[in-house]
Amino acid sequence: MTSPTARDIAQAAQRAASDPLASAWVGASAGSGKTKVLTDRVLRLLLDPRQAPGRILCLTFTKAAAAEMATRLARALGEWAVADDASLDARIAALTGEQPEPAIRAHARQLFAKVLELPGGMRISTIHAFCQSLLRGFPLEAGLAPQFAVVEDRDAAVMLAEAREAVLATPGALRGPLEDLAGLTPPSAFGELVAALNSDRAALGEALERSHGHAGLAARVARRLGLTAGEDEAALLARAAAAVPDLGAVAEAKLGSRNANDQDRGARMRAWLALDAEARAARWAEWSGIFLKEDGGAYADRNLATKGGLGAAHAQVLEAMRAEAERVVGVEERRRALRLLAATTALVALAEPVIRDYEARKRGRGMLDYDDLIDRARAVLRDPGSAWVLFKLDGGLDHVLLDEAQDSNAAQWGIAAALTEEFFAGEGAQPERRRSVFAVGDVKQSIYGFQGADPEGFATWQTHFRDASEAAGQSFRAVRLNVSFRSTAPVLALVDAVFEGEAAKPGVVAEDEPPLRHIPDRAGQAGSVELWPVIVAGEAERPEPWLVPEAPQAGSFSPDALLAERIAERIAGWIRDGEMLPARGRAMRAGDILVLVRKRTGAFIPTLVRALKERGVPVGGLDRLALVDQIAVQDLLALADALLLPEDDLQLAAALKSPLFGLTEADLFALAQGRTGSLAAALAAHRGGDSALGRAADRF
């Protein structure tokens, strides 16, 4: 018996995940077919004659994902509608693993028309679009004006900036927090911090309410940081400076060392110890700099080579330095905690009125931002007084599917839980209703942490829905898709090796899960991974001040420049030596090579392009193409406008003058001059003629 292939394994897992008889939680690695599984599940739900298409809700993370999902469904249903019996049976069997009955075949052919007849089509949308439609349907329950508008991100940023400037321009009680924050945070960062707090303003409001105001919140933060009430940085430094032990002998031992660094530290110690108590506290940074490195870690005093030799005193000196270093580290940690407390307290005191002003501006204009959509929708679904809203939604939903679930935040998970709460309780959990929850995601691909994405919630809510399903006597299965259709074996082997290490496992591989293993569908295909050593900046030779360098020297010894040179040399070597591409059966060409970078800004890309050109390697460069500015695209757009609205004489004339039709100025003048109707009508009169105008009319 032959062992299953990677494709067999993938197909079995995808069928298990798309089975509509069970709720499913799918962990899908990159390139394993997440969108396909989501589409397959919807198709299998639609194949049930008892399932109304409008009772399926699919929530995606981006508009592009929603459009892709809708396109795939429409394409599949359209193909079902026109396929012959054998072809349709084969498609359904590949999807479900079973040969369809004639009734199912007939039903499958009707689905395309049924979906087209749905008002608005299938319910496939982003979470924000769904929340907006919910609030549009129940504005009074949400406490909103029926004609509320959604403010775009750019306009929201402008309104938040206006609110910030208005609050900062108001003298009075905010002067103290503003002065405190100014000493701890650069001005450029204040706006970013306020924006971050505004994006999570619900949590901020809840924290202030639970803490009974700013003072209570500050006290809670202080306790969390291990600080006592009334403690401040000045008093801490005064106590720390007063508690310095007598290290005069240690300073002299350092001065007597043959090591220059020891001598320097000994001199600094002696100078600081000679200060009075007040000066010591004011110049604490000098003392901590003797014991701590720039990263905050303590210096390791292992050797103390002295002129006369210290004997047993050597160990005492090292122990005294180690003990004081540990004490200084503790003082600096507490000092940072005090600064964090002061910055947090000041920031909240300043941000709260800014957020209030921003909220007032939105209300005055009847607007909601994208965070409001989530917060208001969740509030409506959780409000006991608006239970009939959930009843109406529940009556219209049988299946909820979540795409890219690893990027959902706590509020979005709350909406999903509210929408599906009745799936597992009372009459809503009756077996004949066949209701389910489906989520697909991959915590390794969570990239929206800056928007509050909660990757850990993927596992937490899996447990929640599993327990709810089992308590209701329903089926629930966890499925892992680990067959990659995208990458070759060497790339996948590297990923597995990285996440096998204990340092990389947290957040990706749970403690009770087996090691991460990817199976390549592209087994046997060429691929390789090289890990290059870290490049350290070199020292550039400084030219004499009176000499003008023959070539620019700035940055030529930076790590980015050195990396660009090495990459360019490697690429030039491939092309020069005729490096073979096994997948193509020929030598490598410049067009086969793509260099991916993390960002376009900086000196790396220009340096790389220059280095490639110096080696004679054809390179695409950095020019960004504005598609609609290209004359060929403008010609096509003019033709599209003329086809949609033939009465648009200007666009039709532009299209006729383009290479698409090739009319000359004289031809166009003869056509347009003296006409009584539109240019399109004048052109139509020449159809069938053996002339430039006739051929243009026929083509149009």
**pLDDT higher than 60, residue 654:** yes
- Looking up tokens 């003392």 gives 287
**pLDDT higher than 60, residue 307:** no
> Which range is least confidently modeled, 48-57, 275-284, 419-428, 613-622?
419-428
Q: What pLDDT does residue 375 have?
A: 85
**pLDDT higher than 50, residue 190:** yes
Rounded Cα distance between 627 and 637, Å, is 11
**pLDDT higher than 60, residue 168:** yes
**pLDDT higher than 50, residue 555:** no
Q: How far apart are the first and last CA of the chain?
A: 62
**pLDDT higher than 60, residue 309:** no
Model confidence at 40, in pLDDT bands (50, 70, 90)?
A: very high
pLDDT tens, position by position, 58-95: 998 888 888 888 999 999 999 999 999 999 999 999 99
**pLDDT higher than 50, residue 310:** no
DSSP 3-state assignment of 75? helix
Give percent of the chain with pLDDT exceeding 90.
22
Question: Exposed/middle/buried for 274, CB within 10 Å: 0-12, 13-18, 19+?
Answer: exposed
- How many helical (H) and strand (E) elements, i.e. helices and strands, does the chain have? 29, 12
**Residues with Cβ < 8 Å from 645, sequence gap 6 or more?**
651
Q: What pLDDT does residue 62 have?
A: 83
Model confidence at 42, in pLDDT bands (50, 70, 90)?
A: very high
Rounded Cα distance between 636 and 646, Å, is 14
Domain boundaries, the chain: 6-129+373-486, 151-365, 532-624, 644-699
Q: Are strands 580-581 and 586-587 parallel, antiparallel or unpaired?
A: antiparallel
pLDDT tens, position by position, 367-404: 888 888 888 888 888 877 666 776 776 567 889 999 88
Rounded Cα distance between 210 and 213, Å, is 8
The amino acid at 597: V
- Region of residue 226 (phi > 0: left; psi between -120 and 50: alpha; otherwise: beta): left
Mean predicted lDDT score pLDDT of the chain: 83
Question: Exposed/middle/buried for 378, CB within 10 Å: 0-12, 13-18, 19+?
Answer: buried
> Which range is least confidently modeled, 160-164, 430-434, 648-652?
430-434
Residue 340 tokens read as 């964090």
Please give the residue that has the higher pLDDT: either 327 or 602. 327
Between 3.50.30.50, 1.20.1370.20, 3.40.50.300, 3.40.640.10, what CATH number should domain 6-129+373-486 receive?
Answer: 3.40.50.300
**pLDDT higher than 70, residue 470:** yes
Three-state secondary structure readout of 269-306: HHHHHCCCHHHHHHCHHHHHHHHECCCCCECCCCCCCE
Model confidence at 511, in pLDDT bands (50, 70, 90)?
A: confident
Model confidence at 651, in pLDDT bands (50, 70, 90)?
A: very high
Q: What pLDDT does residue 430 have?
A: 72
**pLDDT higher than 50, residue 130:** yes
Model confidence at 687, in pLDDT bands (50, 70, 90)?
A: very high
Question: What DSSP letter does each residue of 583-603 carry, written as one string?
Answer: TTTEE--GGG-----S-S-SS
Model confidence at 548, in pLDDT bands (50, 70, 90)?
A: low
Q: What pLDDT does residue 453 have?
A: 67
**pLDDT higher than 80, residue 26:** yes
